[in-house]
């Protein structure tokens, strides 16, 4: 977990999800958040961006996965 939240839960993807799925989930969730919840968007966007930054990078994701076990 990073900052007290699970990155996979934040992006609503399974830990075995392919990189394309992680990217697509990030894009959909980001757009939905901006439209549906503009008041809470800055806080949630920070979490989404962090999840995408880590899970979207193979090396960072491998390190994150190792720490989760």
Q: Classify residue 2: in a domain, yes or no.
A: no
Q: Is residue 1 part of a domain?
A: no
- Assess contact for 11 and 55: CB atoms under 8 A: yes
From CA 25, how far away is CA 12, in angstroms rounded? 7
Mean pLDDT of 45-67: 95
Q: 62: domain CATH number?
A: 1.10.287.110
Is pLDDT of 26 > 80?
yes
Q: pTM, whole model, 2 decimals?
A: 0.86
In a domain, 34, yes or no: yes
* Straight-line distance from the first to the last Cα atom of the chain, in angstroms, rounded to the nearest whole number: 10
Domain count, the chain: 1
- HSE-CB for 13 with a 13 A CA cutoff: 23
**What's the pLDDT score for residue 6?**
94
Domain that residue 52 falls in = 7-68
Interatomic CA distance for residues 43 and 45, integer angstroms: 6
Could you count the other beta carbons within 10 Å of the beta carbon of residue 20?
Answer: 8
User: Is residue 32 in a domain?
Assistant: yes
């Amino acid at each position: 977990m990073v900052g007290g939240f699970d990155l996979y839960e934040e992006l609503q993807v399974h830990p075995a999800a392919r990189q394309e799925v992680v990217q697509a989930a990030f894009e959909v969730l980001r757009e939905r958040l901006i439209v549906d919840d503009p008041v809470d968007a800055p806080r949630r966007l920070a979490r989404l961006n962090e999840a995408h930054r880590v899970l979207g990078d193979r090396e960072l994701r491998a390190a994150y996965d190792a720490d989760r076990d």
